[in-house]
Amino acid sequence: MALIDVKIKEIKRANGQTEVLVNVYRGAITTEDEALEDGTTQPVTRYRRAGKVASKNFIVDGEYTEDQVHKFVAAKVNQLAEQLGHTVIDKQKLDKAQVTTAVDVMKNLRETTL
């Protein structure tokens, strides 16, 4: 099962609204050799993206802080993962109550898949 990760591309606050553009990626945690500046390589275990699953645009009334936006986006990606049958990477995993709380913060949300 692919692990999905969400990255915010931009947050725009204008005219009393917050617009968030995010990219959702699928990937896996793997160990691969990575080059270092001294010419050597060493094995590094980390999340690696295989491709993009979706791009989404959220527009919500109100001007939200970055922290609020990050929590909200994490909640949305948890919802999306459930819909797609993917697993959210641990760092972004939330329980259902956290998802509900974070999404509830953003009233009057409009969402578009790009």
Partner 1 sequence: MNMIKGKMNYWEGRGKVFDFLAPDIRGYERVNENRWFEMHQPLLLKMLNCQTGRDFFGIAHDAPLIIEIRKNVIKYALETKMTLKGLQILKVGADFRVGAKWANYIRLHWLDFIELAECFNWQSQLGFSGLGLLARVKGECVMASGRRLYDTLTAYPDPHPETNTNDARVYRTQANDTWSDLVTGAGTGVIEDGTPILVNWILDDAGTCPSNWFGMTRALTLFDTSSLPDDATISSATASIYGISAAMDYVAWETEFYLAPYAVAPASNTATVAADYGTFGTTTFATAKIYGDLVLSAYNDFTLNATGLAAISKIGVTKIGWRSTADVANSAPTCTSSPGADKYAVWRFGAAEATGTTNDPKLVVTYTLASGDTGGMFLVF
Contact between 89 and partner 1 by CB under 8 A: the answer reads yes
Q: Which of 33, 46, 82, 96 binds partner 1 (CB under 8 A)?
A: 46
The CA distance from 79 to 103, in Å, is 10
The single-letter code of the amino acid at 110 is: R
To which residue do tokens 């329980």 refer?
Answer: 95
Q: What is the DSSP code (8-state) at residue 39? A: S
Decide if 26 contacts 4 (C-beta within 8 A): yes
Q: Which of 28, 31, 62, 66 binds partner 1 (CB under 8 A)?
A: 66
Contact between 96 and partner 1 by CB under 8 A: the answer reads no
Closest listed residue to residue 26, CA positions, set 58, 62, 51, 63: 51
Name residues contacting partner 1, limited to 6-35 (CB under 8 A).
6-17, 23, 25, 34-35
Contact set with partner 1 (CB under 8 A): 5-17, 23, 25, 34-39, 44, 46-47, 49, 51-52, 63, 66, 70, 73-74, 89, 91-92
